[in-house]
């Protein structure tokens, strides 16, 4: 009987550890996803304000976006990131894809 209790205890502790580790990794990923989302939002406003017409695609580097948004600048500096936003022309609207390359994270 004691063997079963020990096995269940080990199993519960193991599951708890695995979920805790996964939670910490997921929290980091969400932080980088927010940076990507902010990059896309800044690129959208940049495209709308400057009235640039995109024929097929356009690449906006992160350095250009940082000049337009101070909050994005702080996020990028804190995480040591570089990146770009790729703007593709769809049939009816533009499609935005942010790609960032940080010390601990890279867009897939």
Single pTM value for the model: 0.67
pLDDT of residue 76: 73
Structural domain of 81: 2-102
User: pLDDT tens, 12-34?
Assistant: 999 999 998 888 777 777 888 88
pLDDT of residue 12: 93
Question: Where in 2-108 does DSSP place strands (E)?
Answer: 57-61, 81-89, 94-102
Q: Is residue 69 part of a domain?
A: yes
Distance of alpha carbon 80 from alpha carbon 74, whole angstroms: 10
Q: Is residue 8 part of a domain?
A: yes
Q: Is residue 73 part of a domain?
A: yes
Q: Is residue 107 part of a domain?
A: no
Low-confidence ranges of the chain (pLDDT < 70): none
Q: Is residue 39 part of a domain?
A: yes
């Amino acid at each position: 009987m004691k063997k079963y209790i020990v096995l269940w205890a080990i199993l519960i502790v193991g599951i708890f550890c695995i979920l805790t580790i996964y939670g910490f990794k997921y929290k980091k990923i969400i932080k980088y996803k927010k940076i990507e989302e902010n990059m896309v939002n800044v690129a959208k406003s940049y495209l709308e304000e400057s009235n640039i017409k995109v024929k097929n695609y356009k690449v906006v580097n992160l350095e250009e976006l940082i000049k337009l948004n101070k909050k994005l600048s702080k996020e990028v500096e804190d995480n040591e990131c570089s990146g770009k936003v790729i703007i593709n022309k769809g049939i009816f609207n533009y499609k935005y894809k942010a790609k960032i390359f940080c010390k601990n994270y890279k867009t897939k």
